[in-house]
Structure 1
Amino acid sequence: MVKYIQYLMGETTSNPVENGQGPVMAAPDWGLYHPDRGVMSVAASREQIRTWIEGNPGLIPPYDSLRWIDQNFSSWAENQRNDVYREFENWYSANKNITGPFIVVVSYNPSNTVDAIIREAERQGRAAFNLYQGATSPAVSSLLEELTLGVNGKGPLNRNISAVISLYSWSLNYANLPSGGALSELERINLPVLKAVQLYSNSSLTNPLGAQYEWTWQVTIPGFEGVFSPVVVSYTDSSQNEVVIQSGVRKMVELANAWARLRELENSEKKIAVILYSYPPGKDGFTASYLDVFRSLHELLVKLNESGYRVERIPSPEELYTIVSEFGNKGTWAQPLLERYVSEHRRELEARGQLLDIQRYLEWFNALPEKLRSEVISRWGQPPGNIMTVNGSIVIPGLMLGNIFITVQPARGWDEVTDYHNPYLPPHHQYLAFYRWIDEVLGADAMVHLGTHGTLEFLPGRMIGLMEDDWPFQLTSLPNIYPYIVSNPGEGMVAKDRSGALIIDHMTPAMVQSGLYGALIEIHDLIHQYENALKVGNNQILPALESRIKTEASEMGFNMTGNFTEALERLHLSLHEIESDIIPLGLHSLGRVLEGDELLEEVLTIASSRSDLLENIRKQLYPGLPAYTEMLKDPLRYSDEIASVKNLARLWIGSIINGTVPSGINATDLEFINDTIMKIRGNTEWQSILAALSGGFIRPGLAGDPAWCDVLPTGANFYSTNPRKMPTRAAWETAVRIVDSMLAEYYQKHGSFPELIGMVMWGTELLRTDGIAIAEFLYLLGVKPQWNSNGDVNPAPVLMNASELMITVNGTRIPRPRIDVFVTAVTGNQLWIDLMNKAVELAASASDTENYVKKHYSECGSLDRVFGLRGLVLEGTGVSDMTPATSRWNTSSELADVYLSRVSYAWRSTPGGVDIQQNRGTFQYLLGKVNLVTQNLDSTWRLMDTDDYYDWFGGMVLASRHLGGNPDTALIDIRNRNTVTVRTVAEEIELEIRSQLLNPKYMDSLLNHPAGGLNMLQGTKMSLELQLQPAASAMNSGTSSQGTF
């Protein structure tokens, strides 16, 4: 072919056609393949190709493909393909004694891995073949659509296709990648597409973080098209040979087969295991992040019954709570309760095999790799252990309603642990038995893990690219359908990458303005009476008003000591902050669409953060005043104007909700509000859950907080943004604003800049905010990222000039130093770790300004600044687990020691991947020197909503104080993209208690969900107790500006 093109271009006088040398296509770009049949395709004749080349030369942009191939050959081949499809099916039926629908393996070309997958599928009784396409046109997604739907909805095959295994990277329609790739074809095909991963880097096999090198283009980008359930099936060895990983191939086929069966079975035949999360063990532990678990469970049963599933009866949400509470997990300290449960329900438990005998369990246990068996026995003893066992039998609790089994995920086991220093905790025997039982005894066709989040995906092992010696790999052989809150991409991606979950994201509760209530309203009115009396000179009533304000404010815990004028201003500012704080209202029930005031307030919250609505209203109402965001910085001066802007925004949004276009609104704001309302109302959560249970394709969508990202409508198989683009340019600009504000506040308080800052950085926050925290880390060092033309961050950052390191303090521009910074990172992304390590090294080399990185390097001899848990561990620091177990420690020093032992692992960049080595000496040096500890608050979750803040942020402060440090704390509230507020821990806790926990609006909204709401309150209470008990004093000892509460 090359020689013929050279002849046509005049580069040679020898015509290879006349010499019998071409033109020919050496091998078809596409075809069907089976290892027992070889390739089946079509090949054009020599004369056809010559005619096409001569008649249609040239290239087609943007990828410069040959015009004659994309147009002439493709058109000709399309007319030939149906014959190939039918011929292959005839061959298969004649030569293979396997009936039923096909699984299709799509790839660039036939290979050893393709052979292995097809052989394994047939071993499992499933017909399979390979559809390969090495060119971009026609796209393999188009070929799939042709195979399945044909021209009029009926494909050329007599058999159906029930699932697809993809070995493709990037996209199944690469030429269309900028415009959605293969998404439109995959939606029409409506098949589950599972991802088989091939490793091309030797380090991916040994890297404790897993397959970092390949993950973005093999898993992350395909996820934008709805491809899911990644399993590693091969690797390339040092001799560049493709080596099949048979355990991965077997698992890949098992999963594809299971998804295929969901398409093929009648709903009345399917068995579904619905798994609730329960922590801590007991009746108060049934929670999921802002999801009404029992109302959603009730609705799930209703929907399944309506869809033809066999559901014997449907208890009310309250009945479900009572039933599940009875059979829920029992710790070893509650053995009598477990024995009573077994005694009262023995007949049905025995009939359903829920009292698992030791011999059956040993069959499963002994099939595990030796490494994993040893880990379990070392920590939990010989089978069956003592957790959830009665008379030697392992208890699998649960309720069978027809073909629907309702159960609770086994307790993780931390409550049984006495030594918290070792973070590696293998699952216990009952945990292992539970998932095997669901598959092999119950015979479930799918699992539904109901709500965010369980523990399966966090079991020890590689972070991504799991293999047979990783725990989640061993326990996931069924379709795992996972309703998950849309605002948690980091942990949701862990579930997708490590447990093969098909995420169905759900809405957050409505996020609304707190408002004032009760005595706070009265105090606020008294303040305005006082200020009005002062203005008009009505001095005779001032003493009485002052006395009442002091008395009532003090009774509410506000600090009114000292100068009254200053105390009054602090109080007034605090009340405005409480009033405008954004809080969650109630719990979300799956499928529920916001309406009324909740819809209005949610739209206002989103528009306030992601649009210029409030600023545009300010321009109309008050064109001579500062920008709206500037007015917010002086809320006492502009309180009336701020209220007027918000009130008009509410009127506009309310009108649009009711179908009326308000006068005065511009087209951009109208479009944004309309679009937001439509997307909130476009909730497809139930449709997607039912479609997943039928083996259908689930629309992909972006994950993140609705106030930060365009993530609606919910009901999507969510994905995170591309980590190669983080931090984005917008995130960098926001980070500069955040750091400048934080440093200015610190300088005003101390008269100097901090030398050393400790940051807590969570992967989920990075994914929600496009990497703002990484940008903050770089900017503190005086280093900035660079981006290529595609918006990807270049691997090598660059130094900022000293002239760029200037900030404004009290109206004066002053230079600031390169500030040393270290981070405890809850992420395993190698790109981010590399970027931060390179930034530290670069900053240490600079000599153009005061440089605290260089100073501390000369003192401690190490540039390790990125720390975290040791490899193969994804759970916490141990502080929040150990703190409530007061019988197991005596002083806060013991808590600090657990934190130090777990988190003092330095994550370093090497050519072969990330090297994780403990460096406790440097970590302790940094903690002892740290001046300021900081973390971003960017979403629904705050300190009262989860113990993770106490675990990581509190753990860092606790360890610092244990080592003689005395750091300030700064929690940076960036929940609204247009505003930044910095608070100490004590100030944040006080605000959350006043605006949320004590707010009747919040309490009443939870009480509307009798079972779920009470559990949510219990979880909030536990988080509050962690913050306020004596062991936490090191964390929140910084005083609030308003005093006690």
Structure 2
Amino acid sequence: MTSKLNSLERDARVMHLNEQLLEIEQRLIPTGLHVFGRAAELQEKADLLRMVASFDRPEHGTRALPKLVAEALRIENYDALLHDSAPSETKEVIDGLVNQAVQKFCEAGAEAAADWLSSQAGVDIDQSLPTLLLLGKVAEQLDSNTELDSLMSALRGEYIEPGPGADIVQNPMVLPTGRNTHAVNPYSVPSQLAFARAKHTAAALLQRCLEEQGHYPRAMALVLWGLDNIKTQGDGVAQALWLLGVRPVRDALNRATEIEVIPLEELQRPRIDVVMTVSGIFRDLFAPTMALLDKAVRRVATLDEPLEMNYVRRNVQEKMAAAEPCDFDDAVTRVFSNAPGNYGSNVNFMVMDSQWESEATLGDLFVTRKCFAYTRDSRGRSVEGREAPHLMNDALSRVEATYQNIDSFEIGITDVDHYFEYLGGVSKAVETRSKSRPAIYLSDSLSPQVKVRTLQETVRLETRAKTLNPKWYEGMLKHGFRGVAEIENHVANTFGWSATADAVEPWIYTEISKTFLLDPTMFQRLLELNPHSLRSLMKRLLEAHERGYWNPAEDVLETLRERLYNLQQDLEVSA
């Protein structure tokens, strides 16, 4: 019995490892920096086209190539396969056919690719050709680049053609680049498509919480960014509404200004209390949306429902009955941002400058910067930017999970410092106020299958797919000085997740040191290309050790310290 159990455990681990390897292999990553005015290279273009072809696009009358292939092969459970994270030979067959079709398209065009799909998989040409013709338009726009021309026109004070801003995979109409990016009508957020997408994301998020915690989270803290919600037309907003169990109602002008409660019978779960920390840009661009979110929380808090099925109502009632009671308006406040005219939490600056003594300081700074309430009182009067640290502290003290949606294939949680600034900052604030570390989740809602990962899983994936991936760092090193700076930036942002969430496993720092600092050839390359970023990289790894996040062998520390000392001496001499 024991040997059989061990065999089953072994097989499960092998399957899990295989799943992780496939995820890394299929991850779409940039293989270099964007060079202003330069069109996409062939392989990058093929990868983008493959992802563009993976989604239904009803606005263009096209269907996803993987779905067409699955239907032609009479695979009836394809949607279920998409949401199943386990490896599948069927999925591999479908993906292989789609990849070959896109390759055929790049070589010979849309009609040749449609003929190939028809002969190899039995896909109806009338079904696949519209999708492939759309790819033709996208490919043509990827081959063109008007960025330099537009820059010169702007410098001359001339008109620049406007265009939407979004991820290319999500909305290919952002092409061609070089246009004057415009935002969205705030009253249109969330769009109907975003709300439909959010249903699956919210369900996957809560299912992950249920599986890991054994219960639904009593309250969650969400991070909402302005640019992300512009690009997705309100994915993050829609996810917050789904967690609360409400849907937006549109008026005669198609403006989302009212809320409709989703019955518990339809929802089939409790309503989750949601604390929303929004960026300064979101505050500036989406004032009507902030009012909608506040209205949603207030509406849910007043529903006559069992407390075990309405966590908003339960938390509000507990707050109003506490030893230090408050009125309904204060107890129901859930939307927080910066003071008017201010932006950011500054957690990233404090981490990057190493100007912090304890991790709790980072959480305190986040609340200090983001504790300004945006709500309306019971009389309907607007309350914008009222400093309310006591209300934010109380709301965060009940949070059991924090969450942010990732909206782009190109920008991940180690590419920029704002992810650990916001999600890391609010998570640390929750930890110090609830006396318990919250579960931290991120979702990738741009994939055909919704994927919810823990923060640690996401850090591991980003590290394997980018920082330690030769395809990624060699692509960066092609850019010389700037490429080394980008590598150092990734390591610094990875360290940010140690500081705010202790989410970086020690092996990551070990492998980074082996790859970039202990390998003599690589060290010399970095030294010649950008000694200043190399110095910062070494100092960051040594800081990780000094703060207790990494405990390498003593000889490794000695090597790093010696090389850092020698490099600093050389830089001082050459200064």
Separation in 2 of the partners of 1:695 and 1:844?
Answer: 52
Which residue of structure 1 lines up, in the alignment, with residue 302 of structure 2?
Answer: 845
Mapping of residues 60-75 of structure 1, within 5 Å: none
Amino acid at match of 2:389: R
Instruction: Give the Å deviation of 1:619.
Output: 3.0
Q: Distance in 2 between matches of 1:981 and 1:745?
A: 10
* Matched residue, 1:695: 157
Are the counterparts in 1 of residues 402 and 441 from structure 2 also a CA contact under 8 Å? yes
The CA distance in 2 between the partners of 1:739 and 1:592, in whole Å, is: 38
CA contact (8 A) 2:220 2:400 kept: yes
What is the number of equivalent residue pairs in this alignment?
A: 469
SS of equivalent residue, structure 2 residue 442? strand
2: distance between equivalents of 1:979 and 1:1024?
26
Paired AA for residue 644 in structure 1:
G
Aligned equivalent of 1:900, options 367, 375, 392: 367
After TM superposition, the structure 1 = structure 2 runs for residues 14-29 of structure 1, keeping only pairs within 5 Å, are none
Task: Name the aligned partner's letter for residue 358 of structure 2.
Answer: T
Q: Tell me the distance in 1 between the aligned counterparts of 2:278 and 2:113.
A: 47
2-side partners of 1:604 and 1:930: how far apart? 39
**1:798-856, Cα deviation, whole Å (9 max, x unpaired):** 211122212xxxxxxxxx11111111011112101110110011000112342111111
Amino acid at match of 1:999: N
Q: Which residue of 2 aligns with 1:723?
A: 186
Q: Quote the Cα distance in structure 1 between the aligned partners of 2:88 and 2:142.
A: 35
The structural deviation recorded for 1:628 is: 5.8
User: Does 2:456 align with 1:990?
Assistant: no
Residue in 1 that maps onto 2:228: 765
Question: In terms of Rg, which structure is larger?
Answer: 1
User: Distance in 2 between the 1:1015 and 1:889 partners?
Assistant: 23
From the two aligned structures, give the one with the greater strand fraction: 1
C-alpha displacement of 1:737: 0.9
SS in 2 for 1:952: helix
In the alignment, what sits opposite 2:340? 871
Q: Is 2:349 aligned against 1:881?
A: yes
Q: Deviation per CA, 1:681-712, whole angstroms, max 9, x where unpaired? A: 23211221122222321111111111112200
Question: Structure 1's 599 and 744: CA in aligned 2 closer, same or farther, altered over 3 A?
Answer: same
Name the amino acid aligned to 1:799. V
1:564 and 1:649, CA in 2 relative to 1: closer, same or farther beyond 3 A? same
Give CA deviations for 1:985-1044 in whole Å, capped at 9, x if unaligned: 11000000001111111112112211322222222122122223xx33x3527x89x999
Of 63, 66, 91, 1:615 maps to: 66
In the superposition, relative to structure 1, how do residues 1003 and 1044 fare at CA in structure 2: closer, same or farther (>3 Å)?
Answer: closer
In structure 2, list runs of 5 or more residues that go unmatched: 1-5, 58-62, 119-124, 321-330, 512-575
- In structure 2, give the amino acid aligned to 1:735: A
- Cα distance in 1 for partners of 2:287, 2:75 equals 49
Counting only pairs closer than 5 Å after superposition, residues 369-518 of structure 1 correspond to structure 2 as none
Alignment partner of 1:969: what SS? strand
Matched, 1:630 2:81: yes
Q: Distance in 2 between matches of 1:575 and 1:868?
A: 39
Match of 2:393 in 1: 924
Give the drift of 1:909: 3.2
> Post-superposition shift, 1:658?
9.1
Q: Determine if the alignment matches structure 1 residue 649 to structure 2 residue 101.
A: yes
Any idea what the Cα deviations from partners look like across 1:22-72, whole Å, max 9, x if unmatched? xxxxxxxxxxxxxxxxxxxxxxxxxxxxxxxxxxxxxxxxxxxxxxxxxxx
Q: For 1:989 and 1:594, locate their aligned partners in 2 and report how far apart those are by CA, in whole Å.
A: 28
Distance 1:652 1:1044 in 2: 42
Match for residue 597 of structure 1?
Answer: 43
1:244-323 matched pairs, under 5 angstroms: none
CA distance in 1, matches of 2:101, 2:464: 26
Whole-angstrom distance in 2 between the partners of 1:855 and 1:656? 62
Task: State whether residues 727 and 775 of structure 1, in contact with CA within 8 Å, keep that contact through their aligned partners in structure 2.
Answer: yes
Structure 1 equivalent of residue 555 of structure 2: none
Separation (CA, whole Å) in 1 of partners of 2:233 and 2:470: 35
Tell me whether 1:578 sits opposite 2:24 in the alignment: yes
Sort the Cα spacing of 1:805 and 1:687 in 2 relative to 1 into closer, same or farther, 3 A: same
User: Closer, same or farther in 2 for the Cα pair 1:1044/1:777, shift >3 Å?
Assistant: farther
Partner of 1:797: 259
For residues 732 and 566 of structure 1, what CA distance do their matches in structure 2 show? 35
- Note the alpha carbon deviations across 1:285-322, whole angstroms, 9 max, x for none: xxxxxxxxxxxxxxxxxxxxxxxxxxxxxxxxxxxxxx
AA partner of residue 614 (structure 1): L
Counterpart Cα distance in 1 of 2:395 and 2:358: 22
Letter in 2 for 1:848: E
Please identify which structure carries the higher helix content. 2
For the 8 Å contact 1:617–1:645, the answer to whether it is kept is no
Determine helix, strand or coil for the equivalent of 2:30: strand
The superposition leaves residues 78-97 of structure 1 with CA deviations (integer Å, 9 ceiling, x where unpaired) of xxxxxxxxxxxxxxxxxxxx
CA contact under 8 A between 2:414 and 2:493: conserved in structure 1? Answer: yes
Q: Distance in 1 between matches of 2:152 and 2:111?
A: 31
Instruction: Tell me how far apart the structure 2 counterparts of residues 731 and 701 of structure 1 sit (CA, whole Å).
Output: 20
Judge conservation of contact 2:105–2:112 (CA < 8 Å) in 1: no
Q: Secondary structure at the match of 1:582?
A: coil
Shift of 1:610: 5.6
Q: CA deviation at 1:673?
A: 0.9
How far has the Cα of 1:918 moved from its partner? 1.8
Residue 742 of structure 1: which of 199, 205, 209 is its match?
Answer: 205
Counterpart Cα distance in 2 of 1:909 and 1:1009: 51
Q: Is the contact between residue 603 and residue 653 of structure 1 (CA under 8 Å) also seen in structure 2?
A: no
Secondary structure of the structure 2 residue equivalent to 1:907? strand
Match of 2:445 in 1: 974
* TM-score, normalization by structure 2: 0.76
1:952 Cα offset (Å) = 0.6
Q: Which runs of 5+ in 1 are unaligned?
A: 1-559, 807-815
8 A contact 2:40–2:142 mirrored in 1 = yes
SS at match of 1:883: helix
Q: Which residue of 1 aligns with 2:413?
A: 943
Q: Shift in Å at residue 871 of structure 1? A: 1.5
CA RMSD of aligned residues (A): 2.7
Q: Is the 8 A contact 2:209 2:216 kept in 1?
A: yes
Contact 2:221–2:276 under 8 Å retained in 1: yes
Q: Which residue identity does 1:626 align to in structure 2?
A: N
Write the distance in 2 (CA, Å) between the matches of 1:753 and 1:588. Answer: 42
1:1005 aligns with 2:513: no
What CA distance in whole angstroms lies between the structure 1 residues aligned with 2:263 and 2:64? Answer: 37
Give the corresponding residue for 2:326.
none
- Residue 235 of structure 2 aligns to which amino acid in structure 1? I
Structure 1 pair 571–616 and aligned structure 2 pair: CA distance change class (3 A): closer
SS at match of 1:846: coil
Displacement of 1:648: 2.7
Alpha-carbon deviation of 1:950?
0.8
Instruction: For 1:562 and 1:620, locate their aligned partners in 2 and report how far apart those are by CA, in whole Å.
Output: 34
- The change in CA–CA distance for 1:657 and 1:695 in structure 2 (over 3 A counts) is farther
In structure 2, distance between residues paired with 1:719 and 1:561: 57
Q: Could you give the per-residue CA deviations for residues 486-536 of structure 1, whole angstroms, max 9, x where no partner exists?
A: xxxxxxxxxxxxxxxxxxxxxxxxxxxxxxxxxxxxxxxxxxxxxxxxxxx
> Is 2:66–2:98's contact at 8 Å kept on the other side of the alignment?
no
More off after superposition, 898-907 vs 991-1000 = 898-907
Could you say if the C-alpha distance between residues 716 and 895 of structure 1 is closer, same or farther in structure 2, counting changes exceeding 3 Å?
same
Per-residue Cα deviation, 1:226-265 (whole angstroms, up to 9, x for no partner) = xxxxxxxxxxxxxxxxxxxxxxxxxxxxxxxxxxxxxxxx
Shift of 1:784: 1.1
Per-residue deviation, residues 449-508 of structure 1 (Å, max 9, x unmatched) = xxxxxxxxxxxxxxxxxxxxxxxxxxxxxxxxxxxxxxxxxxxxxxxxxxxxxxxxxxxx
- 1: CA distance, partners of 2:278 / 2:395: 15
1:946, distance to aligned residue in structure 2 (A):
0.6
Counterpart in the other structure of 1:831: 288
Rounded to whole Å, the distance in 2 between the matches of 1:610 and 1:700 is 25
Instruction: Please report the TM-score for the alignment, with normalisation by the length of structure 1.
Output: 0.43
Structure 1 residues 736 and 616: CA distance shift in structure 2, 3 A: closer
The correspondence of residues 42-121 of structure 1 with structure 2, limited to 5 A, is none
The one-letter code of the counterpart of 2:411 is W
Q: Which moved more, 1:620-629 or 1:572-581?
A: 620-629
Paired letter, 1:622? L
Would you say the 8 A contact 1:830–1:914 is kept in 2?
Answer: no
Equivalent residues of 2:403, 2:442 under 8 A apart: yes
Map of 2:529 onto structure 1 = none
